[in-house]
């Protein structure tokens, strides 16, 4: 199986949840959907940081990976900001949510265009298979935890 397929399908699921978020109007329904988005993003970023990013471990990738880690940090910060806010103001929530969606959409399209290409370029067949197995393993363990 393609090692990057499950990560791509995570990205797709996240994009679909964002589309849904843009269609929903009621604030309580948006908040509920936000909880699912947060869980999904936390889980996905964790998988990438523990398995995908370390697979690119040469010096040539240091700067590139640092940017991706920084983008995760930015995403995590916005998620926490929204999570901790108890404002009843729909407008505030909308602004924060827009910022989150822009940030995540930018990040995942960069991963798909820049990072995944590097992974496929430098990892050989057996290492890609290892990567796929490690992702699947971790996904199963974390899903039941
Ligand atoms: Fe990521
Ligand atoms: Fe990703």
Mean pLDDT by 10 residues, the chain (145 residues): 87 98 94 96 96 92 96 97 81 92 98 95 92 93 76
CA of 11 to the centre of ligand 2 (A): 6
Cα 89 to averaged position of ligand 2 atoms, centre (Å): 30
Cβ atoms of residues 32 and 99 within 8 Å = no
Residue 86: its pLDDT value, please? 77
Structural domain span for residue 57: 5-144
Phi, psi angle pair for 58, to nearest 5° = -80, 160
CATH of the domain at 33: 1.20.120.520
Ligand 2 centre to CA of 91 (Å) is 28
Two structure tokens written together for 128: 């890609």
10-20 b/e (C-beta count within 10 Å ≥ 16 → b): bbeebeebbee
For residue 49, give the ligand nearest its CA: 1
Structurally, the chain folds into a number of domains equal to 1
């Amino acid at each position: 199986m393609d090692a990057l397929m499950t990560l791509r399908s995570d990205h797709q699921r996240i994009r679909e949840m964002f589309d849904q978020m843009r269609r929903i109007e009621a604030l309580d329904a948006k908040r509920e959907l936000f909880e699912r988005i947060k869980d999904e993003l936390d889980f996905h970023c964790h998988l990438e940081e523990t398995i995908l990013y370390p697979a690119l471990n040469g010096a040539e990738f240091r700067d590139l990976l640092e940017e991706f880690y920084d983008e995760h940090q930015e995403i995590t910060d916005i998620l926490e900001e929204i999570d901790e806010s108890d404002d009843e103001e729909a407008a505030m929530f909308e602004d924060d949510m827009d910022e989150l969606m822009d940030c995540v959409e930018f990040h995942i399209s960069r991963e798909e265009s820049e990072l995944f290409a590097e992974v496929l370029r430098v990892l050989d067949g057996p290492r890609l298979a290892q990567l796929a197995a490690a992702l699947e393993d971790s996904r199963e363990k974390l899903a039941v935890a």
